[in-house]
Structure 1
């Protein structure tokens, strides 16, 4: 792509991230400082032909820069901690404002069922090094990863399950402990599987 074409694609992508929908031809013209919508249409045609943009014919606000979406990074144990393989399985398309600093993990196990997080669900994780007391998050403990509720008490820090069949996991000063992120959303497939695009 030429530098001018890259500027067009960047403007469209940023507009979608800010607004949740693609810009109109007039909005692109205004944003790019152009007085003619004809030149915008010509550029959109070229970008579509080259594959840099996708659009559904002449449907308004149907531009797509092809951003992959939110990555699915494999499984996280809702039970005892397990080693996490951070291989991208695919992507789930969502509001583009979520793409940066977010990822999905598949839930494996039943230890969080009383918080309505079930085996097979996908949880959306926002990456952060800080988590508040009572928040559900993904944690790395001694090289293994688990999904639990963070709880700080006078007796110390615990990773709490939401199922009486599982015991709390204490975190001591001798443990290698890291907050990976907080859970922001749970997606459950009732039938037909998730709409995950391949990596």
Structure 2
């Protein structure tokens, strides 16, 4: 899927903002009013193009049947201890926008081992990383050190640079001046699937 044009992005941004605010998709009339368009025909034409390009999906049976294909907002519907959350307006706390979590250049690495378990990062988790050649002190990231890739907490002090595991069973790894060292990315999120609840597509 190619990137949207500037005009298409205006439509997508309006639809997304409307959904985040109202909890449902806008009608063609509301899109026209929001984007200051006098003709619903021009709105329909653009929506058809967005659907053909795969940016949205439309339900022909509903005037508000617009669903964003790539940029979704997931509702926060309440808090749970041991009970069942109820899908109601009273419990709605807000939304988490997936587009704010995942950048177009983000990537996953599958975690192996338990060296980061004290940070809640477990064997088999998927670490979502944002590419970056630099990282702030105390941040968790992925690093290449002498040909090996590892997920650790980055520490720098007057004694040097260190890759720190979050598990006392593992040693702190110093980074020496002569080492082949590279910051690959910064950890944004950890994804953990429960068995049977997902289908990973491998190319």
CA distance in 2, matches of 1:20, 1:12: 12
2:187 to 183, 186, 189: 183
What per-residue deviation string (whole Å, max 9, x for no partner) do you get for residues 131-163 of structure 1?
A: 222111111112321100111133211101111
**In the superposition, relative to structure 1, how do residues 61 and 146 fare at CA in structure 2: closer, same or farther (>3 Å)?**
farther
1:34 to 5, 19, 37: 37
Matches within 5 A, 1:31-180: 33-45=36-48, 47-48=50-51, 50=52, 52=54, 53-57=56-60, 58=62, 60=64, 62-64=66-68, 66-67=69-70, 95-97=98-100, 98-180=102-184
RMSD of Structure 2 on Structure 1 (CA): 3.3
CA distance in 2, matches of 1:17, 1:198: 29
Contact 2:125–2:191 (CA under 8 A) maintained in structure 1: yes
What per-residue deviation string (whole Å, max 9, x for no partner) do you get for residues 69-90 of structure 1?
A: 9xxxxxxxxxxxxxxxxxxxxx
CA distance in 1, matches of 2:5, 2:161: 49
Could you state the TM-score of these two structures normalised by the residue count of structure 2? 0.66
Gaps of 5+ in 1: 70-93
Could you state the TM-score of these two structures normalised by the residue count of structure 1? 0.67
What per-residue deviation string (whole Å, max 9, x for no partner) do you get for residues 59-102 of structure 1?
A: 636332x4499xxxxxxxxxxxxxxxxxxxxxxxx712332342
What per-residue deviation string (whole Å, max 9, x for no partner) do you get for residues 149-190 of structure 1?
A: 111133211101111222111101111211122212112113
The alpha carbon displacement at 1:109 in A equals 1.2
**In the superposition, relative to structure 1, how do residues 195 and 166 fare at CA in structure 2: closer, same or farther (>3 Å)?**
same
**In the superposition, relative to structure 1, how do residues 59 and 119 fare at CA in structure 2: closer, same or farther (>3 Å)?**
farther
The alpha carbon displacement at 1:43 in A equals 4.2
Moved over 3 A (4+): 5-10, 12-23, 30-33, 45-48, 50-53, 66-69, 193-199
What per-residue deviation string (whole Å, max 9, x for no partner) do you get for residues 117-143 of structure 1?
A: 001111221222222221111111123
What per-residue deviation string (whole Å, max 9, x for no partner) do you get for residues 2-45 of structure 1?
A: xxx95653333444677775962345324654212243135424
CA distance in 2, matches of 1:46, 1:151: 49
CA distance in 2, matches of 1:51, 1:32: 21
